[in-house]
Chain A
Amino acid sequence: MYAYIIRRLWQMIPTLLGVVLLVFILFNFVGGDPAYVLAGKISSAEQIENIRRQLGVDQPYYVQLWIFIKQVVTGDFGASWSTNEPVSQIILTRLGPSLMILIPWLIISTLIAIGLALAVAYVRGSLTDRAVMIVCTVGLSISILVYIIVFQYFFAYKLGWFPVQGWGNGFWENLVVYSSLPIIILLVVSIAPELRLYRTFVLDEVNQDYVRTARAKGVSENRIMWVHVLRNASIPIITNVMATLPGLLIGAFLIESFFSIPGIGREVLLAVNRSDFPVIKAITIYVAVATMVFNLLADLTYKAVDPRVQLK
């Protein structure tokens, strides 16, 4: 077990190196000289030379790469180009609001999707099943932008049930007042694809022999679905939830921008619009690390839920 974890952590190093290299190439070569981006449109040759020296862009490439690797290892990405705030500070303060939206949403949406998936898979092939699947397909096809625009207009602007946008200071105020509508919109958007996916996971299980055995020995239908089938179907579901988790931090960027929630996703978008390279670089690296760690966690949970799984 520990040997496995250590080996997996060890294997992350080449991947992380690849991410670092990719980000380095992207921000130093593909986009042209970063000094010009920072200096803006009106700048003299002398100013640009100064900025180049400050950023270390005048150094040979291997030195620049070394500086960047040192930044990644120490976690010190310097200061934002637009606000001069330390990048680590920015990320830490933005993480809270993001998680306040993401955690309740993830819990509610997973529970609803699992419940619906079990129910729909139980009546598979029926009119209800097909109707739900059609609603899911159509719901999936509407752009998330349309959902946000319409819900924000209707429930916040027109009916006034929720604030149109904003973020407060108190924990409960944020959770109850400001997070509700964003979470509702995310639920509407996310349940359709999750339900479709989880339904196929459940369908893989309902025809297995153990279900027939359970039924033969007189186990109630409820117990078969909620205990026997769910336990087996939860393996791919957990893997799926864990694997998508880090991506959600970025995935919520639209909702965070529309509702002015100071989260990670909105920060990425702001940084992209302001060409604030240090912030984008840092968030990219951190999210990559988080993805790798969560993939490992997913595999470990896999083992915990299903003892038959051998970790190689």
Chain B
Amino acid sequence: MLATIQITWQNLSDGVALGGLYALMAIGIGLVFGVLRLVNFAYGQLVMAGAFALAFGSQWGLPRWVSVLFCFGVVLALSVLMDRLVFRPLRGKSPAVMLVATFAVAYLLQSIALLWFGPLGKSATQFATLNAPWTIGGVLIRQVTVITVVVTVVCLLALRLLLDHTSVGLHMRAASLDFATARLLGVRANRVIGGAVIVSGVFAAIVAIFLTVTNPQVTPDFALHDTIVVLAGVVLGGLNRPLPATLGGFAIGFMSGVLGGALPTNQSQYLPAFVFTAVILVLLVRPNGLFTRGRGAVERV
């Protein structure tokens, strides 16, 4: 069955692009987890809100850069609001409670979108021209693919710089290692958490822009499925540190992208089943993540 797969350069480039986007979402989720120990299930709804902002941008005929600004504004405002109204009161609760709470927020935002924009949603067509292909070395590659990869790399480098060379980055790393001790040593909790929430919001807005290029119809469940896949990827990679989380997101995106294009339809319809079976198998072997070192601390009794 597997022998029938023909993997082309096209498939590989699609895989890299999807992997890049999922890597960005993975960092967004991983950063907030680092400082809050909270898996943000509602991350996809931030992307959805940004995509709706872009859809309104094209409806009102705004210039592209204004739409982009609008998208960033909406996503960042929503991130900060989410932090204030939900994450802050939940600080220190058990991880299960926080996971269920963000699950609730995700549903709340999705149903608000359903209420306002209807099940068919709106279309965001301003960036559709990026679907046009470039010929690179005799291979046709869509512009959006190249731009996604470039932007992802730039974002990762910028994040690296932020974490390694600024004081807020240092505070973030300290907080994700041990929040209580970091606070004792003078790290201001709200500032660090605010920083992480804003950076993760920025990534959500970027993801929204790229997702609307390939999928211009913005519906209330926009990015919902992507979030579930990315969450699986993040846990696969290892949540505790940014790099493993990013690699996990990239790996699962790459795998979905390549297989989705390469498999014939009667097999690619079962792609989610393949991907999630792989997720379960990996979790069984390495419950603490694929790209982490050492075993998790199990209390010996």
Asked whether A and B interact, the reply is: no
Residues of A that sit less than 8 Å from B by CB: none
